Structure 1
Amino acid sequence: MSTWSGIRKKLENDYLCPALRDHIQYFATSYSKSADHEGRAAIRMDGVEVLRSNYYTYFENVWMKFHQLRSTTLKDCDSAKEAINQAHVYALEQGTFDQKVFYEAFDIFDNQNIEKSLVSDNPIVRIFAILDRRLGKRRLLALEESMEQELDWVRAFYVIRMQAEGLMDKQ
């Protein structure tokens, strides 16, 4: 995997649509004094963190959902792996992640075409795609109906992009 500075450069310079350049900043860090160098990640719009999360919030959501699944629907020992996988998906859908999940999302995004990224199971990958320069205005407008079914925190980036492109009034 690339370094964070390389990832950030690609996201902000190579992929980001021109209308959002110098407005969107990506941020990720790990803390050397924390266990296993855990950290946080964020996407900022004009210096304000629109989306942010950290390892501890992410892990708390994973752990809570895992125990809920194990005590209710997935009681078998064989289903522990399934429960942890579902718990990770749940935590990400809640908008919680750490810098490692952020890096993994970039790796997925960087290695597939824009069409696959727009329908990815990973909401962070979908955000990267919504903000991508390869997504033109017509295709952006065509996504409006599908955005009604999207997670609120992903839809927020659709609104940001639509406003930046002049396709939606700023509220």
Structure 2
Amino acid sequence: MRWSGLRAVVIERFAPELRKRLDIHSAAYGNCSCGHAWLTFDGDVIANFCTRAHFIASGMDTSAAKQNAMYRHQFADFGELSRQDAYQACWAFVHELSIEQALNDEDPLIQSLAIADARIGKRRLAQLNATMLHRLPAHILELRRTILGFDRRDAA
């Protein structure tokens, strides 16, 4: 499936309150698979999944810690996931995993997509424990709770 089709299906699954605000993008450069994918909320990048950075962070270069400091405003570490990881997470979310499996997956992007999914209702959102999640899905959870008008007491 082409990225544009997969992206459309992923966004279609988002809760109505997030559909126009949360977005996922991907760009490739040249004939290689390098590039990056990124997650935005209201146009601001909240996570950048850069293939080159992923290889740097995997030990091919020791400058990852220095680069990571530049991305502290984001909710995923520099190089934590690659563009290919983002594509695979979207594919698995759409074609392979139930919503329950996605919520319990170790991949922070899959968890984030699950939390943004329309099948997760207010009661379930209130039950989710943000402290047990990676920073990215915890941030998506907080955004969704805020949009829905949750009081701090409503959250678990």
| TM-score in same-fold range (> 0.5) | yes
Task: Tell me the distance in 2 between the aligned counterparts of 1:167 and 1:49.
Answer: 24
Relative distance call for 1:29 and 1:94 in structure 2 (3 A) is closer
Q: How does 1:151-170 map to 2 (within 5 A)?
A: 151-168=134-151
Greater gyration radius: 1
Q: TM-score, normalised by structure 1?
A: 0.73
| Cα offset, 1:137, TM superposition | 0.6
Matched residue, 1:85: none
- Given candidates 100, 112, 132, the residue that maps to 1:115 is 100
Judge conservation of contact 1:17–1:133 (CA < 8 Å) in 2. Answer: yes
Task: Tell me the distance in 2 between the aligned counterparts of 1:45 and 1:60.
Answer: 26
Task: Tell me the distance in 1 between the aligned counterparts of 2:78 and 2:29.
Answer: 23
Q: How does 1:51-130 map to 2 (within 5 A)?
A: 51-63=47-59, 96-110=80-94, 111-130=96-115
Task: Tell me the distance in 2 between the aligned counterparts of 1:153 and 1:116.
Answer: 17
Judge conservation of contact 1:117–1:129 (CA < 8 Å) in 2. Answer: yes
| Cα offset, 1:53, TM superposition | 2.5
Report the secondary structure of 1:44's partner residue.
strand
Relative distance call for 1:3 and 1:119 in structure 2 (3 A) is same
Judge conservation of contact 1:41–1:52 (CA < 8 Å) in 2. Answer: yes
How many residue pairs get aligned? The number is 137
Judge conservation of contact 1:25–1:43 (CA < 8 Å) in 2. Answer: yes
Matched residue, 1:40: 36
Report the secondary structure of 1:115's partner residue.
helix
Q: TM-score, normalised by structure 2?
A: 0.80
Identity of aligned residues (%): 25
Matched residue, 1:23: 21
Runs (5+) with no aligned partner, structure 2: 62-75
Report the secondary structure of 1:96's partner residue.
coil
| Cα offset, 1:63, TM superposition | 2.0
Relative distance call for 1:29 and 1:153 in structure 2 (3 A) is same
Judge conservation of contact 1:53–1:96 (CA < 8 Å) in 2. Answer: yes
Relative distance call for 1:93 and 1:117 in structure 2 (3 A) is farther
Give CA-to-partner distance per residue, 1:8-56, whole Å, 9 cap, x none. Answer: 111112x1100112111110111116xx230101111111111113111
Judge conservation of contact 2:50–2:79 (CA < 8 Å) in 1. Answer: no
